[in-house]
Structure 1
């Protein structure tokens, strides 16, 4: 069943999570003004799945069932492209639709449980398939409880003075396990249906109790959520984040019982590390689409502001150059997401994995360029976004007439419209909410250092060395020879050439395409 946004909001009333926002207990998440912008943002992923023009992107077939794209396990590289574009679509509408984290975790769990069963003879994969079936059938929203509080970063989990800075198993029972600890950064924590708990790092055999992955209802006994408001609800100047926003929460697990059918790893340290890195790659691929959607908002708002200021990019080169730079940044990291999709590879579990190299390059670009994107938006907008009086002055009879007269731009564009766009850009780039968007772009999905490590690990530097050594040793530069093809770099320059994907917006009736890199 595909829910609507209204269905989703109503479904939250079936749960009774223990939630605190700004020190106050929230009796009904679905009705809390402080969380409404976050619920609205996730609601976009539900409503867009019902719009005919978005059906190809926002829904997918999973074993004969139509499911929301945010809950789909990828089978082809076309699925990766559709997911990337779907995330961009919903995030350009909502800023951050949040629900795509569920997609990324479900794909990683699918791969990791299959791998664990093969190595240890467990039945985790069958447990997970049953869970996945219910999540897709009920069209749930999942919160990904991955990032532990960590404590002293110089010490491993088992060496911490307070073991509860990492979620870990405290008891193993015949019917399940008991977990305890703290996840410090959980996106959308107050208004999800369930948490998928997973490790945030690799673990040694001595820390096996910390290698745990499981599903926990948001209102399970022993779960407490301490969260921040979603967006800037109730603020008149919040032209965007008053409607759409994102809450994050600290989630405390205080001796929470998890039955066996919801346990997907319980001490398998090697596979726990695989789950962590696999999720990171899926999520970084999705983050590319999310921040491209945010870039769309900045590009559109910048163009509107330029128009309201009475400038023409075709006549004012410095303005055009700034906009071209913003477009180039946005589409450059999105292009990495497209490449990661096209060069996706088959996993032994039967799903498809985005290329890790391009996923990490794209995520590193957006993480470090988000501040340049804000800078450009400021440059093309002018200083009005920080000097503009608050919106209450728009209705102050003592000041309204004079403000309207002196703060107008083009004579055919009312001052009120110019001020509205200015406040929109302020909301996206200058407000405390804007600073928060910058931080989640920088650290969401891992810090830049994590991406750099993965890029260095996956990039075939040795192959480039071999190339230069071959050219030098054989003198092919002088002789004009050297027609050998590079074959180690993912997806490119293979011996037989690569199979190109179908168009990204192909109709839903088209069959699956071969994996990129497959021999023709």
Structure 2
């Protein structure tokens, strides 16, 4: 079934999670004002899937059941699935900034691949369990939060060496009916507003860390689960033109001897597979991050252009502003293009799932992680300095100041003062407020720090192929030397999957350009949108 945003909100009433915000217990999650922007953002993923115009990209037919499911619950089967997922993430983030729910799909795909691999190696039965759990989630159109990043404690020590073992989630008891876990996950996006928590390892483990190699599904209101969450966005603030409506909450989640039945356990001590699960999730999630920040970048591009217009400047004639806008566009579409490449050149897993090509996915995420600050800088540059001294919205109704401000702070005579202020406050909210700072940090560290992306790029990049190329040109006969480690990482046909032919991609949903020409709501033409993939 496919729920609407309203039905999603009502479904949360069936759960009674133990949540604290700003030092107080939340009585009702779906009615909590400090969580409302995050609830609205996740709700976008539900309502968009019900719009007929958007269904080709926002829904998919699940191969396991033949049922139509929300895109963010789908197991990817081909490059077209990855492209549609990338477009879906960008689409919902154009509306909400960060819709959070795509983490559900990233985790389900990673666990799908990892359980198949573990079963093949160990003779376990994790993969059939995951398939049954997937059916459970799909039939109810649930949202799952990903509990991956542990508290980590002293980061110079491995999990089993920690003076406070609870800084990592671990198995503390194995029972006939399941396992008991304890510990803390430090950064769980959307946790209070999810139906389920997917607990996953955050790193490679050793044999002495086996108890920390755990992956399982836990209801958000399971006994022993406590969440300490941050408010979502800037609810209730009049100046928060964007984040008063849409935002994201994150939580520290403490598991205090939480019992998990075996049918919900997908990894329990097989430590040698924990690194694969972590890296596979990271690859899927970094593709999502690319789509998410591209959607956020679209908001900056649009707000910057509107601000130039409100200031009375023509971008085609004001060369330095035009160059800044082109630079902003180059950044956004540059890392998005890496996402497209990661989708087109994706890899087929033995279980039938399809994952992004890791080099392109990690390069795209690395670019957006480090260039988010340039995106903010360029948006500030093209908007002018009004944001620095922007009067608060209360002044719009102050009888002592409103008339004067409306006269002296107007830009173009045909654009009312109120319109100019509205765009300026939106830009301030996105780039120069608590929300703007938060977007910078989450872009830098969300999905792994830049160092993690660099490690994955170097791990997967076929450096040996490039050395072979030069050695061949130099006509040197040293390629077979076993001690030359620089040439060990080779991938035949690395320029493409089939030797110099572009991989065939199955039918893709209507392009973003095709959809946005009619607008997200299908209300009329738009001529200033980018072309689709």
TM-score (ref. length: structure 2): 0.92
Match of 1:38 in 2: 38
Distance between the aligned counterparts of 1:178 and 1:125, measured in 2? Answer: 21
Render the CA deviation track for 1:321-365: whole Å, top value 9, x for unaligned: 000000000000000000000001110111101100000000000
Instruction: Determine if the alignment matches structure 1 residue 466 to structure 2 residue 489.
Output: no
Cα drift, residue 433 of structure 1? 1.1
Instruction: Determine if the alignment matches structure 1 residue 114 to structure 2 residue 119.
Output: no
Counterparts of 1:373-412 in structure 2, within 5 Å, are 373-412=375-414
Distance between the aligned counterparts of 1:423 and 1:5, measured in 2? Answer: 27
Distance between the aligned counterparts of 1:503 and 1:110, measured in 2? Answer: 24
- Cα 1:496–1:424 change in 2 (3 A) is closer
Task: Indicate conservation of the 8 Å contact 2:493/2:499, yes or no.
Answer: no
Distance between the aligned counterparts of 1:322 and 1:126, measured in 2? Answer: 52
Structure 1 residue corresponding to 2:501, chosen from 494, 497, 510: 497
Match of 2:442 in 1: 440
Distance between the aligned counterparts of 2:147 and 2:491, measured in 1? Answer: 38
Task: Indicate conservation of the 8 Å contact 1:176/1:259, yes or no.
Answer: yes
Match of 1:325 in 2: 327
Render the CA deviation track for 1:247-303: whole Å, top value 9, x for unaligned: 000000000000111011000011121110000000001100000000000000001
Distance between the aligned counterparts of 2:76 and 2:503, measured in 1? Answer: 18
- Cα 1:292–1:286 change in 2 (3 A) is same
- Cα 1:259–1:503 change in 2 (3 A) is closer
Structure 2: tracts of 5 or more residues without a match: 478-489, 512-533
Distance between the aligned counterparts of 1:18 and 1:136, measured in 2? Answer: 25
Match of 2:198 in 1: 196
Match of 2:6 in 1: 6
RMSD: 1.3
Match of 1:74 in 2: 76
Match of 1:292 in 2: 294
Counterparts of 1:187-336 in structure 2, within 5 Å, are 187-336=189-338
Distance between the aligned counterparts of 1:308 and 1:498, measured in 2? Answer: 45
Task: Indicate conservation of the 8 Å contact 1:190/1:249, yes or no.
Answer: yes
Distance between the aligned counterparts of 1:133 and 1:490, measured in 2? Answer: 36
Match of 2:529 in 1: none
Instruction: Determine if the alignment matches structure 1 residue 24 to structure 2 residue 28.
Output: no
Render the CA deviation track for 1:349-408: whole Å, top value 9, x for unaligned: 111011000000000000000000000000000111121111111110000000000100
Structure 1 residue corresponding to 2:134, chosen from 132, 135, 138: 132
Q: Secondary structure at the match of 1:52?
A: coil
Render the CA deviation track for 1:20-58: whole Å, top value 9, x for unaligned: 011111000000000000000000000000001111100
Task: Indicate conservation of the 8 Å contact 1:460/1:489, yes or no.
Answer: no
Distance between the aligned counterparts of 2:493 and 2:288, measured in 1? Answer: 22
Moved over 4 A (4+): none
Cα drift, residue 490 of structure 1? 3.6
Q: How many residues align?
A: 497
Task: Indicate conservation of the 8 Å contact 2:496/2:503, yes or no.
Answer: no
Cα drift, residue 460 of structure 1? 1.1
Distance between the aligned counterparts of 1:448 and 1:474, measured in 2? Answer: 37
Distance between the aligned counterparts of 2:296 and 2:402, measured in 1? Answer: 32
Q: Secondary structure at the match of 2:34?
A: coil
Match of 1:51 in 2: 51
Task: Indicate conservation of the 8 Å contact 1:343/1:491, yes or no.
Answer: no
Cα drift, residue 506 of structure 1? 4.7
Render the CA deviation track for 1:51-109: whole Å, top value 9, x for unaligned: 01111100000131000000000011100000000000001100000000000000000
Render the CA deviation track for 1:404-463: whole Å, top value 9, x for unaligned: 001000000001100110000000000011100110000000000000011111111121
Task: Indicate conservation of the 8 Å contact 1:61/1:67, yes or no.
Answer: yes
Task: Indicate conservation of the 8 Å contact 2:75/2:353, yes or no.
Answer: yes
Distance between the aligned counterparts of 1:253 and 1:456, measured in 2? Answer: 35
Distance between the aligned counterparts of 1:496 and 1:77, measured in 2? Answer: 17
Cα drift, residue 162 of structure 1? 0.3
TM-score (ref. length: structure 1): 0.94
Q: Secondary structure at the match of 1:242?
A: coil
Q: Secondary structure at the match of 2:166?
A: helix
